[in-house]
Structure 1
């Protein structure tokens, strides 16, 4: 098992985590006995700050709102974004074919890092649906669209790289419907597919969880419900998210909400739902022992190097408690 943490080359991580220090990544990896990082490439790749030897996986880019653009549903896009200028700003183009080519380029850039795997989010939602969780499209539609999109773009990946589908709590891959997980494996033509099970995202599908023990029991229930598909869970994004009280309150407070959210409001909501906090109990050990993944990624929201290292210390300690 490779033990990793998440890191991007966005300005916030370059400045707050690595502080533009060429030795910082090596120091973090060595101090926490990690094997490297799962890298999100948001800018040109600085190989001095992010040495290739430490990049074991790459998290691909993600547009949370994309299905309407893929379908060229102008009415839905105008309702969500309000203007062609805003649509272009979000997707970089008004042409879905150009957007698909941007996906291919992201895969090519990922392949340059020579990772063992890449991660693809299988989800879609409109911002107007976030508070209420009343979604206009269902899991089946999203999975079908992802299959079609991935079959267009995946051929640019080298065949020795795993393509891992990640679950969210929005329509798409939630692991609540094993037959849809199976559909991703059987209908995507790329030969090396599997799953990156995100424990926090999975917890976000159950608003009744009270603590880490509840969360671990729920992850166990869903994982065993996958049956034979469980052996295709090659990676785990390990973190905890107990946010049901907040989510229910927002559903109650915004019961009649149907307007799009601005970027800041949407991000604020997501950050309160998807907490990316470290496990502090032996619940973490039980999850890891059950799944026995090839890739264990300590995935956090981190504000500084000190914050990241504190969270790594807490969660790594929790893995030693049995």
Structure 2
């Protein structure tokens, strides 16, 4: 297994990376990690990143895809209020903007020669972020997502793995059953397709989880239920979120967007809520090691949120301790 940290090209993360990414390189050396899973943000010259630091690329998470993919301009206006907002969010007003974004990022992944990219099979809208009652099915979302990634991959020079990440919202790819995997892989026209298992996203499905030990036991049952499909898990986003009370509070809110006058006001409220659901904390309980008795991924990403280098280092060390021998000395790892 190769162990990676997450980083983006948002300005805040770039401060942690430091000039010429020297601080980022030093952090890898200090902590014994092999590289970073990169979330590229438009407007930054990723050519300035030393290629050997990047071990994977997380493709853009648009969240709202149906209307733009169907070139439904009126539907987009209902979501975004104005054409300027649509352009700001997607880089255009038609599906071509989405395809261009993904093809550019796949080209970047090819340039970095990374072994995998991450793609979210998702469609979600702000109106349902709090109540979790979308009027569409997971089947519709998977079919839509397969169309998007198939078109993005056409003519792409990228030849590594495309890994599909689970989320927690109903009507999306949640790994609730192997039927979701069958439907997705039957529709994706790309042989090297697999799964990236996000452990916190599994927890976020279940608002009854109270303790970390209870949550890990739930995770292991969920993974066991996948049977032989577990071999498709090529990467893990390893982090925890125990946020059932926060989710229930949002579901009870009679008017969660009260006072929001613009799309960006609503978007900000929704984003704050989502960050309260998916807190990207570190594991502390050693039973998390049991996950790696069930699966043997090629890549494990310590996917954390952090506001300081001190907080980042603290989460890294806590989770390394929880993993014990699962996180071996760098020279002892399988390539």
Fold equivalence (TM over 0.5): yes
Aligned ranges 1:216-227 → 2 under 5 Å: 216-227=216-227
Contact 1:132 / 1:254 at 8 angstroms: preserved in 2?
no
Deviation for aligned residue 1:262? 2.0
| Mapped partners of 1:275, 1:182: distance in 2 | 30
| Mapped partners of 2:120, 2:314: distance in 1 | 27
| Mapped partners of 1:229, 1:188: distance in 2 | 16
Stretch deviating more after TM superposition (34-43 or 156-165): 156-165
| Mapped partners of 1:36, 1:268: distance in 2 | 29
Contact 1:36 / 1:55 at 8 angstroms: preserved in 2?
yes
Q: 1:78 to 1:136 in 2, by over 3 A?
A: farther
| Mapped partners of 1:126, 1:54: distance in 2 | 35
| Mapped partners of 1:22, 1:145: distance in 2 | 37
Contact 1:108 / 1:156 at 8 angstroms: preserved in 2?
no
Structure 1 vs Structure 2 CA RMSD:
2.0
Q: 1:89 to 1:216 in 2, by over 3 A?
A: same
Deviation for aligned residue 1:207? 0.9
Deviation for aligned residue 1:293? 1.4
Q: Which residue of 2 aligns with 1:212?
A: 212
Structure 1 regions of 5+ residues with no counterpart? none
Q: Which residue of 2 aligns with 1:289?
A: 293
Counterpart check, 1:239 vs 2:272:
no
Q: Which residue of 1 aligns with 2:311?
A: 307
Contact 1:165 / 1:196 at 8 angstroms: preserved in 2?
yes
Q: Which residue of 2 aligns with 1:271?
A: 275
1:262-299: per-residue Cα shift (whole Å, max 9, x none)? 23212111110001000011132122332221111100
Deviation for aligned residue 1:241? 0.6
Counterpart check, 1:3 vs 2:8:
no
Aligned to 2:6, the other structure's residue is in SS state strand
| Mapped partners of 1:158, 1:282: distance in 2 | 41
Deviation for aligned residue 1:185? 1.9
Stretch deviating more after TM superposition (97-106 or 254-263): 254-263
Deviation for aligned residue 1:219? 1.4
Aligned to 1:195, the other structure's residue is in SS state strand
Deviation for aligned residue 1:187? 2.0
Q: 1:91 to 1:179 in 2, by over 3 A?
A: same
Deviation for aligned residue 1:19? 3.1
Stretch deviating more after TM superposition (270-279 or 146-155): 146-155
Contact 1:66 / 1:124 at 8 angstroms: preserved in 2?
yes
Deviation for aligned residue 1:158? 4.1
Structure 2 regions of 5+ residues with no counterpart? 327-335
Stretch deviating more after TM superposition (1-10 or 80-89): 80-89
Q: 1:98 to 1:257 in 2, by over 3 A?
A: closer
What is the count of residue pairs matched by the alignment? 319
Contact 2:128 / 2:134 at 8 angstroms: preserved in 1?
yes
1:221-256: per-residue Cα shift (whole Å, max 9, x none)? 221111221110011000001001110011112378
Aligned to 1:58, the other structure's residue is in SS state strand
Stretch deviating more after TM superposition (106-115 or 20-29): 20-29
TM-score, normalised by the number of residues in structure 2: 0.89
Q: 1:226 to 1:81 in 2, by over 3 A?
A: same
Q: Which residue of 2 aligns with 1:164?
A: 163
Contact 2:110 / 2:159 at 8 angstroms: preserved in 1?
no
| Mapped partners of 1:308, 1:256: distance in 2 | 31
